C-alpha cells in the first residue's frame, strides 16, 4: 500500500485526520507522509513554520477520457495548487499525441502533458487518483476501472451506473469492491446527477428530519446550455417516432435515475421492493436553436423521465427529470414529507456540466482518504476543495 499525506489549508470539511496506514484510504505515492509509527497527525490548526521542502507531495492525477466533461474536469484540476496532472488517456486519434492543455482549450496551454491512447503506459506513472470520464455504462467501463485499480490508483468516475450499482449490477459492484480492497484503493461514481441534485441533496436534508414518509426531487434543465453529446443523448431534434425507437434501443435517456432512487431508499431505510422508470419525449412547441443544433416545432426537444420507488405498491420516492432545449424556469426542487415537512428550491438549478466537474474535483480529497472498496455519494462527505489548498 502506498503512503498517505495530508492536505493543508483545505476547507474544514476536507481537513484530513490521521489514521493508520493500514486503513486503505488516503493519497498513495512513493513519498510516504506517515510518521515513524505509520500515522499522520491531525491537521486542525494553521501550518507551522515548515519550509517548502517539509510539505507533502502534490496529488498525482491522471485524466482518463478527454471529452467535454473530461476537459472541464481537467481545466478545474489545473486550478488546484494541490494537484499535479501527470497523464491523460483518450483513444480518439485526433487527441492522442497532443498536449492536454491545448485539447481542453486552456488559456495557459501547453501544459507539458501529452494525451496517450495507451492506458497501461499512462497508468504506470504511479498516480494517486484517476479521474475517469468515458461512458455512462458500467459494463462498458469495467475493464478500464479494473485497470486503474490494478495500478493502485483511487478513482473518481462520472459513470452514472457506477453511482449506486448494487441493484442494477450487483455482480459487477461486488467485483469492483473486491478488486479495490485487494489493491488497497477506493473508487466512486459521482457527478451532479446522479451524485448530488436528486439523491445526495435529499439525503443531506434528511439530517434535520425526525420522520420521513415520502421523498421527492424534481429537476428541470434547459439542455440548450449543455454540451452536444448530452443534447444528442436526450434526443433533441429527433421525430417522436425516432425518439421512441431509440428509447427502446437504450440509446436515448438520461442515465442514473434508478440508481438515485436506490441510493435514497437505502439511505432513508425505505424498504423499496420495486423501482420503475418511464421515459417520454418533450415535444417543442416553437423553434429552438442551440450552439450545436436546431429543433423545430413538432420535433423532440428532450426527455421527461420519472422514476419511482415503491413498497407494496405504494410510492415512497418520486424523482422527475425534465431535460430539454428551451426549458422554462429551470430549477432543482427537493421535498421530504414527514416530521417536519421540508422543501428546498434552487432557482436555475445546479449548473449542469460545471457542477459535474465541481463535484468530481471536490471529491478527490475525500476518495483519497476513504476506506478501500467501492464507495458512493451516500458514504462520502461533501465539501469544497479550495484552489489555494496546498499539499
Q: Is 389:8 a contact under the CB 8 Å cutoff?
A: yes
Crossing angle of helices 170-183 and 138-150, rounded to 10°: 10
Q: Compute the distance between CA of residue 62 and CA of residue 138 in angstroms, rounded to an integer.
A: 20
| Stretch among 44-53, 74-83, 268-277 having the lowest mean pLDDT | 44-53
pLDDT category of residue 387 using cuts at 50, 70 and 90 = very high
Q: Is 380:13 a contact under the CB 8 Å cutoff?
A: no
Q: Take residue 245 and report the three cell numbers written for it.
A: 425507437
In this predicted structure, the answer to whether residue 337 has a pLDDT above a threshold of 60 is yes
In this predicted structure, the answer to whether residue 43 has a pLDDT above a threshold of 80 is no
Of 253 and 128, the one with more pLDDT: 128
- For CA atoms 239, 240, 245, 249, give the dihedral sign: positive
Question: Residue range 214-221: average pLDDT?
Answer: 98
Residues shown for the chain? 391
In this predicted structure, the answer to whether residue 46 has a pLDDT above a threshold of 60 is no
In this predicted structure, the answer to whether residue 90 has a pLDDT above a threshold of 60 is yes
Domains delineated in the chain: 12-191+354-375 (3.40.50.720), 200-349 (3.30.360)
Q: Compute the distance between CA of residue 74 and CA of residue 64 in angstroms, rounded to an integer.
A: 10
In this predicted structure, the answer to whether residue 2 has a pLDDT above a threshold of 50 is no
Q: What is the pLDDT of residue 56?
A: 65
pLDDT category of residue 13 using cuts at 50, 70 and 90 = very low
Q: Take residue 159 and report the three cell numbers written for it.
A: 459513470
Q: Take residue 111 and report the three cell numbers written for it.
A: 501544459
Q: What is the pLDDT of residue 117?
A: 98
Q: 116-129: per-residue pLDDT in tens?
A: 999 999 999 999 99
In this predicted structure, the answer to whether residue 36 has a pLDDT above a threshold of 70 is no
The model's pTM is: 0.86
Mean pLDDT value across the chain: 88
Amino acid at each position: 500500500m502506498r503512503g498517505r499525506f495530508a492536505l493543508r489549508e483545505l476547507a474544514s470539511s476536507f481537513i484530513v485526520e490521521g489514521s493508520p496506514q493500514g486503513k486503505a484510504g488516503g493519497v498513495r505515492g512513493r513519498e510516504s507522509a506517515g510518521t515513524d509509527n505509520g500515522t499522520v497527525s491531525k491537521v486542525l490548526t494553521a501550518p507551522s513554520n515548515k519550509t517548502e521542502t517539509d510539505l507533502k507531495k502534490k496529488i498525482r492525477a491522471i485524466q482518463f477520457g478527454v471529452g467535454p466533461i473530461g476537459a472541464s474536469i481537467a481545466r478545474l484540476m489545473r486550478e488546484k495548487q494541490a494537484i499535479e496532472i501527470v497523464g491523460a488517456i483518450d483513444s480518439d486519434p485526433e487527441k492522442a499525441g497532443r498536449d492536454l492543455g491545448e485539447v481542453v482549450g486552456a488559456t495557459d496551454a501547453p501544459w507539458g502533458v501529452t494525451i496517450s491512447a495507451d492506458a497501461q503506459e499512462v497508468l504506470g506513472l504511479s498516480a494517486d487518483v484517476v479521474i475517469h470520464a468515458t461512458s455512462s455504462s458500467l459494463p462498458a467501463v469495467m475493464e478500464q476501472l479494473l485497470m486503474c485499480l490494478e495500478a493502485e490508483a483511487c478513482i473518481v468516475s462520472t459513470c452514472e451506473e457506477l453511482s449506486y450499482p448494487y441493484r442494477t449490477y450487483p455482480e459487477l459492484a461486488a467485483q469492483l469492491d473486491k478488486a479495490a480492497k485487494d489493491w488497497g484503493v477506493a473508487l466512486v461514481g459521482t457527478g451532479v446527477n446522479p451524485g448530488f441534485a436528486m439523491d445526495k441533496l435529499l439525503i443531506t436534508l434528511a439530517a434535520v428530519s425526525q420522520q420521513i414518509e415520502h421523498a421527492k426531487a424534481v429537476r428541470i434543465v434547459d439542455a440548450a446550455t449543455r454540451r452536444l453529446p448530452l443534447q444528442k443523448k436526450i434526443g433533441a431534434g429527433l421525430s417522436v417516432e425516432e425518439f421512441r425507437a431509440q428509447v427502446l434501443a437504450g440509446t436515448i435517456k438520461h442515465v442514473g435515475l434508478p440508481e438515485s432512487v436506490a441510493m435514497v431508499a437505502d439511505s432513508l431505510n425505505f424498504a423499496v421492493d420495486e423501482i420503475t422508470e418511464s421515459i417520454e419525449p418533450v415535444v417543442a412547441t416553437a423553434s429552438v436553436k442551440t450552439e450545436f443544433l436546431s429543433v423545430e416545432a413538432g420535433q423532440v426537444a428532450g426527455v421527461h423521465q420519472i422514476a419511482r420507488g415503491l413498497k407494496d405498491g405504494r410510492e415512497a420516492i418520486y424523482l422527475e427529470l425534465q431535460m430539454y432545449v428551451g426549458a422554462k424556469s429551470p430549477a432543482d426542487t427537493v421535498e421530504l414529507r414527514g416530521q417536519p415537512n421540508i422543501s428546498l428550491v434552487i432557482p436555475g438549478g445546479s449548473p449542469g456540466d460545471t457542477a459535474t466537474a465541481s463535484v468530481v474535483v471536490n471529491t478527490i480529497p475525500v476518495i483519497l482518504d476513504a476506506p478501500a472498496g467501492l464507495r458512493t455519494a451516500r458514504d462520502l462527505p461533501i465539501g469544497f476543495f479550495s484552489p489555494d489548498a496546498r499539499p
